[in-house]
Structure 1
Amino acid sequence: METIISSGKTDSQTLYETDYLEWIETIVEKLRSENYAHVDWENLIEEIEDMGRSERRSLESNLIVVLLHLLKWQYQPESRSGSWESSIIEHRRRIKKALKESPSLKPYLERILAECYGEAVKQAKAETRLPLEIFPIQCLYELEDVVDDEFLPE
């Protein structure tokens, strides 16, 4: 049975703050043994919510990188490099893996395309030193092209 610490927190809550991995192992053991009364539900729910946010942030970050390199590829053809193409391939792979593992992320990806494009344009301007006006305001690329391994803009 869990003891209560003077602060009013249970051992499990304190463990969450001091040793995250051990807290996870403890929670998993309690769930496996169906000891639901002693599960740190508040922190467990928060962690599950954070996992969803983390997946979306990762998807957004990978999308921005692909868009950035597609823009650089299109607007600085004289500077095209294997590292740009490699980055496009790698971040496309990450996007596709996330969508394969969580197909429910696809509508989110569609919703954030325009916003991520805007972020990619800002970064492309900074990295290429090209004027902002060079880059179209609206995203040039269809989502299908963004994740298509064969697509590179000309």
Structure 2
Amino acid sequence: MRVKPHPQAPELTELYDTDIVAWANEQARLLRTGCLDRLDIEHLAEEFEDVGKSEQRELASRMTVLLTHLLRSRFQPERRGASWETTIRTQRAGIARRLRRTPSLARSLDDPDWWADAWDDALDAATRETGIADLPRNCLWAVGQVLDGDWLPSGKDPLPPSDRKE
């Protein structure tokens, strides 16, 4: 269904730029009262898209923190402590909650590009935090391991073939 914008739509666009909360409340009121012709369609579409992007950013952020701590745990097992394990548990729980609330996010976990970005971000963070410059370029673990609440990496986990030193 295509809705033609109402002549007052420019006022809503200005409201969007000056007070997004007031704009959102007005959009909700217009929806509830059936005044669809007065909606700020373009900005509504942007906001809907942003909700999805925000969820994806949250998942990526949590995964980066989780992978960073798993890397630290793998390469500095002697420094593993309660705070690292708490962070790992917290991030796993947050990821599980995200995936429960937004099941379509699980597709991200199967996307090699998304996974590579999360791994690269984790490598950057882990390198800064540990001072170890030669961390593996490729992920050491399967998604299932990373998300498994009972699993922690071992200092004996093998490196992928492309990351082994000759």
TM-score normalized by the length of structure 1: 0.88
Which amino acid is the alignment partner of residue 21 of structure 1? V
Q: Secondary structure at the match of 2:148?
A: coil
Amino acid aligned to 1:25: N
How far did 1:118 drift?
2.1
Question: CA–CA distance in 2 between the matches of 1:85 and 1:34?
Answer: 51
Larger mean Cα displacement after TM superposition, 45-54 or 103-112: 103-112
In 2, distance between residues paired with 1:114 and 1:141?
12
Structure 1 position 18 matched with structure 2 position 28:
no
**Distance across 2 between alignment mates of 1:130 and 1:42:** 47
What is the match of residue 53 of structure 2? 53
- 1:3 CA drift (Å): 6.7
Instruction: Indicate yes or no: 2:93 matched with 1:78.
Output: no
Aligned position for 2:110: 110
Q: Is the 8 A contact 1:89 1:149 kept in 2?
A: yes
- Cα displacement (A) at 1:143: 0.6
Tell me which amino acid in the other structure corresponds to 1:49: E
Give yes or no for the alignment of 1:97 onto 2:97.
yes
Deviation at 1:96, TM superposition (A): 0.9
Aligned residues: 147
The alpha-carbon deviation at position 47 of structure 1 amounts to 0.5
Contact 1:113 1:143 in 2 (8 A): no
CA shift for structure 1 position 99:
0.7
Partner of 2:140: 140
Counterpart for residue 162 of structure 2: none
User: Tell me, what secondary structure is at the counterpart of 1:138?
Assistant: coil
SS at match of 1:10: helix
Per the alignment, residue 30 of structure 1 pairs with 30
Is the CA contact (8 Å cut-off) linking 1:30 and 1:36 kept in structure 2? yes
Indicate the RMSD between aligned Cα atoms, in angstroms. 1.5
Instruction: Pick which of 38-47 and 120-129 moved more.
Output: 120-129
**2:145 matched to 1:124?**
no
Give structure 2 stretches of 5+ with no counterpart: 1-5, 155-166
Q: Partner of 1:62 in structure 2?
A: 62
Task: Work out the percentage of aligned pairs sharing the same amino acid.
Answer: 35
Aligned partners of 1:64 and 1:120 also within 8 Å: yes
Greater mean deviation of Cα atoms: 81-90 or 59-68: 81-90
Cα distance in structure 1, aligned partners of 2:118 and 2:14: 38
TM-score w.r.t. structure 2 length? Answer: 0.82
Give runs of ≥4 in structure 1 deviating > 3 Å: none
CA contact (8 A) 1:66 1:88 kept: yes
